[in-house]
Amino acid sequence: MARSIKKGPFVDHHLMKKVDAARGSSDKRPIKTWSRRSTIVPDFVGLTMAVHNGKQHIPVYVTENMVGHKLGEFAMTRIFKSHSAVGKRTEEAVGGERRPPPGTQGPAAPAAAPAAAPAAAPAPAAKK
């Protein structure tokens, strides 16, 4: 559920003090914060925030498009390791060679054996 418009966006007071001090002195150093829950307000635009992700501070340069979002949205807390390619794991486990995708130039493939003529279907048995 969204926050009431009457209350306005939530920003931690200690973070707002740091932002006001940086604006007053034209300081370009990143502002370190642990406040991932704070909403980005127009006063933050043009500043760099170092948002803590649980392990380290991630530098986030605030732009106009970020206004209204939370600081934590821009500092991911989990690292995504990509999914394995389709069939890659099974081929490596079996020991098969990696083949280039169809339609691309790769190493010369061994010639395939000629296809045998399809076997004729057996005739239905005669009724007695």
Residue 57 bridge partners (DSSP): 52
Helix, strand, coil proportions of the chain in percent (round to 5)? Answer: 25, 10, 65
CA distance 35 to 118: 72
pLDDT tens, position by position, 11-62: 999 999 999 999 999 888 999 999 999 999 999 999 999 999 999 999 999 9
If you average pLDDT over residues 60-89, what whole number do you get? 88
CA distance 86 to 37: 38
Picking from 97, 91, 92, the residue whose alpha carbon sits closest to that of residue 110 is 97
Decide if pLDDT at 85 tops 80. Answer: no
According to DSSP H, which parts of 40-122 are helical? 88-94
Task: Confirm whether pTM is higher than 0.95.
Answer: no
